[in-house]
Chain A
Amino acid sequence: MEAGTVVARPVPPHAAAAYPGTKPRSGILKWLLTSDHKLIGVMYLWLAFFFFSIAGAFAMVMRAQLSAPGLHVLRPEVYNQLMSLHGTFMVFFFTIPIMAGIANYVVPIQLGARDMAFPRLNAVSFWLLVPAGLLMLSSLFLHGGSAAAGWTSYPPLTDRQFSPGPGVDLWILGLHLAGASSILGGINFVVTILNLRAPGMTMFKMPMFCWTVLVTQTIILFATPVLAGALTMALTDRMFGTSFFHPAAGGDPVLWQHLFWFYSHPAVYIMVLPGMGMISQILPAFSGKRLFGYKGMVLATAGIGFIGYLVWGHHMFATGIDYRLRQFFSFASMVIAVPTGIKIWSWLATIWGGSLRFRTPMLFAVGFIALFIIGGITGIWLALVPFDIQVHDTYFVVAHLHYVLFGGSLMAIMAGIYYWFPKISGKLYNEFWGKVHFWLTFIGMNLTFMPMHMMGMLGMPRRIYTYRPEFASWNHVASAGAAVLGVGMTIFAVNMLWSLGRGKRAPVDPWTHSAETRTLEWTVSSPPPAENFHTIPVIR
């Protein structure tokens, strides 16, 4: 939104020589051999949505099993596998990669760069993700099935003694590859953002989305290696008889919980910060008004990123860790509400007094705010140790995390996809069906996850394949809501696929941004030309 006037500047003489790979390839080779950030970004989107449809289908089957007590849609061991893969895929193979995919496409253009800093590394990041997801998925068809210990995979349940099949090994291997992909991507994004900004684009002139990507990728760089270490320990425990997590030989299963959450709590911010960046771009675009409190937003983003490292223990309040430690983690978790609040207030101030146009991206952006507030508030409640102990590992937590990751991340992703779809595909999607998708998602989301708060407070634990009859009524509602979500997502898929083929041609700026809210990607054709800019823009 800080992009000033684009000033033509001649292409430096060496530029053409520096990009010898620009001769157009066609067919499958164009995709397989590319190091173009836009093509890689698009492949990320396809892959992420492929995994999303699988993990979403798992959720549908789970809700069918849970629609009434005592059903036999799934055997218990299969339920546990689908439940574990649903979580793992939504986190590692949908939300994180799709954020990387959108960032891959958009960030270099917003910066005024021709590509990422390391284009080949970028391709490696993407291609690591393909075997990662497929390996993990394939374990479903092997003897013993996939990993079934939840996306958190607490040992000793994941030890060979209790999970003898190859499922957990493939789970570890898949996450190792996905983690390597993340780390390489992190290096690439940080270097790109720090070094490839167009002349005149100082850090504080960068669009907010680039800031959130920078903070996110920094979090990835520091947190993911810890997960990789923990995974290696789990693997050697299983394969080579070490005992990092074996109590009988002096190890401690609680160590895994610390290491896992040291990554996985920051991972929540990895999943939600880029979404916040998209919202910070979409709200101004459809309000005709600059983002309120840009510098405060940057500070809040950095603050969330930093404090996010200090709160992992709030996942372990019922583990029996020391009282003083819990007190620290509790307060640090409450403090995160402050920078998060700054973001919410700033978004509200952004649209206040604006001239709001409710196209589909804007609907999802407003829906994001409405739902994220709820997830944030239940997050404050959960930071209070005694209340957390009451509802820890119950459906209350499932409700909370879906308000943050579905109501937060997914709504933002949808806003972003609708917003950039014309730019990426060069086609316009169908606005009517986009709005239908929004309303079905918004209503279905609340129908599905609001009742889970009640279930949890009544005492229904999460991760159970069937439940006592007293929880039945809320579960009926949740399953009905899931069906609404399923219909909405199907409409989304059909609308997007149809529009890809038959949609109207998109102009340079289909959203008619005001001069103050237009970022650089809306100054080039849809889709942008190879290497994005004929002449590198200069920002004033």
Chain B
Amino acid sequence: MKNRKGWALFLIVGLSVAAALIASPAGAWLLHPVTPVARDVRSLFYKAVAITAFFFIVAEGLLLVAVLRFRAKPGVPAATWHENLRLELVWTAIPTLAMVVLSGPAFSTMKYMETIPKSDVQIEVVGHQWFWEYRYPKYGVIFANEPLVVPAGKIISANVTSIDVVHSWFVPDFGIKMDANPGRINHVWFQVDHPGTFEGQCAELCGVLHGKMFITVNVVTPEEFERWIEQKKKGV
């Protein structure tokens, strides 16, 4: 019996450590935010993990303890109670409250993502089977099948649509995913902290080569961007 309790304690501690690992520092190897939106998404994720970890540990912990402690033993009859209104009210009310609390940061982050600030560069993203076309209307630049180039630190707004089937423009590190629906234009914005190359790919099944519909975004300094766009305008 003592040994079993020891095991139960060990397992509960183990579960808590696992839950803690999934939370704060471990999220860093799964999510690498480089935009304000993506950072907000990650901190929302941490909050969600923190709140739900409580229920996870309590539920899995009770399950473990029950399984270890209440194995049938000769001469020990099962309990006969099967109702407790107060307990039922508690386990209805507390999760409800937790959901209300969690919806706060979720809705404010959603609002933040949704409200497109005044942008510095506008682009258009058009999905095709199976490549992306990018347009810079202000500069009259259109190209496809090449990396998108945007300046670091500037607010970029994108109009996303498709020419054929539904695609989805997805760059994980930006915290952005937006369906490209034919006949509709969706809006999305991002602001990348620092120069670098970021990979993504189409996230909505779009046919045979859906798995090869990659996205590369080269984020460069504003000066480099000016130089690049001038060259593009000349058709280089």
Contact = CB atoms under 8 A, between A and B. Distances in A.
Contact of B60 (A157, A252, A373, A454): A373
A293 B99 contact: no
Contacts of A480: none
Contacts of A337: 95, 99
Given A355-B77, A384-B44, A318 B211 contact: no
B142 interface: no
Interface string B37-66: 110110011001100100110011011001
Contact of B181 (A319, A338, A352): A319
Contacts of A392: 177, 203
Contact of B165 (A157, A358, A463): A157
Interface string B97-140: 00100110011011101100000000000000100000000000
Contacts, number: 247
Contact of A366 (B67, B99, B186): B67
Contacts of A351: 66-67, 70
Contacts of B187: 320
Contact of A253 (B44, B81, B181, B199): B181
Interface string B181-195: 111101100000000
B83 interface: yes
Contact of B66 (A342, A344, A348, A380): A348
A334 B103 CA distance: 8
Given A320-B181, A386-B41, A459-B172, A467 B211 contact: yes
Nearest to B33: A390
Interface stretch (B84-92, B144-152, B217-225, B228-236): B84-92
A61 interface: no
A324 to B, nearest CB: 10
A390 B41 contact: yes
30 contacts: A77-B208, A80-B207, A148-B207, A149-B205, A156-B166, A247-B184, A290-B80, A290-B82, A294-B82, A320-B179, A320-B186, A327-B110, A331-B103, A334-B99, A335-B99, A337-B95, A341-B91, A341-B95, A355-B70, A355-B77, A357-B72, A373-B56, A386-B113, A390-B45, A390-B172, A393-B170, A458-B172, A461-B201, A461-B203, A463-B205
Interface of A: 76-77, 80, 148-150, 154-157, 162, 247-248, 251-254, 287-294, 296, 318-320, 323, 326-327, 330-331, 334-335, 337-338, 341-342, 344-346, 348-358, 366, 369-370, 373-374, 377, 380-381, 384-387, 389-390, 392-394, 454, 457-459, 461, 463-468, 514
